[in-house]
Structure 1
Amino acid sequence: MTVTRYTAADGLPAGYWNADPADPRASCAWLTANRWPEDGVGFLEVPGAGAACAVRVQDDHSGFSRMNCTDVSAGTGRGVDQPEADIKEARAEGLRQLNVCALGYGPSVFPAGGAEFDADALVTALEGYAGAQGRLLTFLHLDEDSPVLPRLRERGWSVGVTDRYFRIPDVGADEDAYLAGFSAHRRRRLRRELASLEEAGATAEIHQGDLTEEIQREVARLEACSDEKHGIPGDPARLLRVNERLRQAFGPRFCVTLVRDHRGTAVASSTVVLGAREVLPRMVGLGPGSAEIGAYFHVAYHLPMRLARGNGARGVLLSTGTPTAKLHRGAVARPLLSAVPPGAPAHRALLRRTDAAFAT
């Protein structure tokens, strides 16, 4: 069966994309603009299966652990205890990989509009494509309702939970409606949190469709500060390029939130993409002085919720990571599942332990 590779999503036929998707992660704009040169992500189309998919290839274990099937199967960064010898065996087993996965942990398989989707044909074609290159084929970060999962299980693949994706499902018609869903104790804490900026003489801004070059530079500076805190070399120029691509791709649906301290200095930011049903904060930037005024909670939660209410969206997509802060602000968790083939016993062993760890 024919498999065609594309460097970017916008090379695929237009029939794969909804012009106004409810979830911005499923849009061509997101999958094209939210990229950087080293991400290794491409797109494969299998017309005979009525589908395309986002894939990441790798030839070693450098790069991004959340798109590496060995690290994902092992629960790396998610607190899963694995024998080092088993991880070493899996690294040798999966040195060369073809991982079906999407940026932002959104959909990775895209049925073509007007075509009948054939999951069996898709998996068969991908197995042949990966096998011809000597690569281990895996599926990473699938939603539990992915139409591919039943077919993988039928074919003897191991499937397990490897992460959780958090979202606030209902931001309420206004702030009071949102707060009404919490206990009295939690409401009091959230009201104090919402008042933190005014008490510190700080201000909040939402920029929608009016992003000046100066605002973009302030955001890139703050995002570079956050990268540095996470051990990633801060590169404002790279971050500025990504955000400018997103602005051009999404137009007025690409937004920025900013918190300024009492001197007017930007100390926290978030970049946010608007979908028809949900909004997607892409990245939070935190600079010096943000912690003292609780700015993080505003740019990460409260301002995106305000954006959702003002644009007719109902929920906020919060991604993966540490659950406590998200759950305390009304988020719910959905499992993300990964799958490895029968011919990868070392990865199957890691995946079983990671799935068990998320079940406890």
Structure 2
Amino acid sequence: MVTLREYATVDGLSAGYWSTDPADPRASTAWLTANRWPEDGVRFLADTGAGAACAARTQDDHIGFPRMNCTDIAAGTGRDVTQPEADLKEARAEGLRQLNVCALGYGPSVFPASLPNGAGREGAGRDGAEGSRSAGPAFDADALVTSLEEHAGSQGRLLTFLHLEETNPVLPVLRERGWHVGVTDRYFLIEDIGADEAGYLARFPADRRRQLRRELASLDSAGATAEIHRGDTVTETIQQEVAWLEACADEKHGIPGDPARLLRVNERLRTAFGPRYAVALVRDRDGRAVASATLVLGTRDVLLRMVGLGPGSEEIGAYFHVAYHLPMRLARSTGCSRVLLGTGTGTPKLRRGAVAQPLLSAVPPAATAHGALLRRTDAALTACP
């Protein structure tokens, strides 16, 4: 018997699924509410018997949102994995109708309710946020997977789990049931930001320290300046500057730039996070904003949401400041210890002290075509240094 209830937003779910003070901002209701757009298709499924909720997305074709399409993810499409066309064709037919457990921004997608006596989630961390939580039913991962399987089966959909961290509590259940599980991406973060800039630099060998010092000095050399604004100090003018810079960055990546859409998202984030919403800006010698980063804070992590780059940013090395050095400065000043950088190209992140954590995806035993794709993607990404 299917016991799941569906909600369009997190607002209708019990507060027991959410930490009041999350270590990782992506585990907060603020993130799951504000980091949305009307066409994302994400819904929230709650199973009170299993003591859990999850974020999920259905689809009936292979159009749009490749990061939420299990066929593209299993095939490593965004990671340049080579797959036989015949296998891709078979998988597209196998997975035409999907129910994918996944969330926006590569964040947690499974939310266990509180354990009795306020013990909090088992294995609290990136996929189980820390903080005070109300008491609730014990989390039963096996029951949750069963409910999701029945729910997907009743709709004729292929159930999958995408972008899971290794500590996700459903992974042992999936492996026990014979699901195909493999690495489909990497998430980068800087775990050692140092007590100060000198402490951060001390972790690198001498030649790399010299390079990073030159990088850190690039703004002074160009007469440029760096700024960090939080909460109420992020003015309407700054929000408009950031939206324009983010639209410029989209254009550089072949995405139509839409400052109005980007401004709406950033306004939602500012409203939802309040003082935990921040903007890093670099201005050239004439005071023009040439690079930006939008950031949100948890109690442990600073999350880099998006970098904006406009004309003149490359000449002064502004990207490295808004993408790495200013988020670390913000983390140190607010008592956070890590910076979450997201996925994407690994080399520049690794050269600045990031580590790569694998993200895994899982498809059921009967999904043989997706299983074949997943095995190749896992082998290709696991072989990368």
Q: Structure 2: which amino acid aligns with 1:264?
A: G
Provide the residue aligned with 1:183 in structure 2. Answer: 205
SS at match of 2:49: helix
Aligned match for 1:315, one of 323, 331, 338: 338
Q: TM-score, normalised by structure 1?
A: 0.99
Deviations along 1:226-271, one digit per CA (max 9) or x if unpaired, are 1111111111111100000000000010000111111111010000
Provide the residue aligned with 1:155 in structure 2. Answer: 177
1:1-360 matches, within 5 Å, as: 1-114=2-115, 115-209=137-231, 210-360=233-383
SS at match of 1:77: helix
Percent of aligned positions with the same letter in both sequences?
77
Paired with 1:276 and 1:220, the residues of 2 have a C-alpha distance of 26
Alpha-carbon offset, residue 110 of structure 1: 0.4
Deviations along 1:161-181, one digit per CA (max 9) or x if unpaired, are 001111000211110000000
Deviations along 1:304-359, one digit per CA (max 9) or x if unpaired, are 00000000000100111111000011101111110000111110000000011012
Deviations along 1:137-192, one digit per CA (max 9) or x if unpaired, are 00001011111011001111000000111100021111000000000011000000
SS at match of 2:345: coil
| Worse-matched range after superposition: 7-16 or 28-37 | 7-16
Q: Structure 2: which amino acid aligns with 1:281?
A: L
Paired with 2:339 and 2:85, the residues of 1 have a C-alpha distance of 37
Alpha-carbon offset, residue 62 of structure 1: 1.2
| Worse-matched range after superposition: 246-255 or 223-232 | 223-232
Q: Structure 2: which amino acid aligns with 1:120?
A: D
After the TM superposition, which segments of 4 or more aligned residues of structure 1 sit over 6 Å from their partners?
Answer: none
| Worse-matched range after superposition: 229-238 or 185-194 | 229-238
Q: TM-score, normalised by structure 2?
A: 0.92
Deviations along 1:76-114, one digit per CA (max 9) or x if unpaired, are 110211111111111111111110011111111000113
Q: Structure 1: which amino acid aligns with 2:178?
A: G
SS at match of 1:298: helix
Alpha-carbon offset, residue 129 of structure 1: 0.8
Aligned length: 360
**Structure 2 unaligned regions, length at least 5:** 116-136
> CA RMSD of the aligned region, Å?
0.8
SS at match of 1:310: helix
Paired with 2:252 and 2:62, the residues of 1 have a C-alpha distance of 23
Paired with 1:68 and 1:260, the residues of 2 have a C-alpha distance of 38
Paired with 2:193 and 2:104, the residues of 1 have a C-alpha distance of 25
Alpha-carbon offset, residue 10 of structure 1: 2.1
Q: Structure 2: which amino acid aligns with 1:309?
A: R
Q: Structure 2: which amino acid aligns with 1:79?
A: D
Paired with 1:12 and 1:295, the residues of 2 have a C-alpha distance of 42
Q: Structure 1: which amino acid aligns with 2:303?
A: L
SS at match of 2:77: coil
Q: Structure 1: which amino acid aligns with 2:167?
A: D
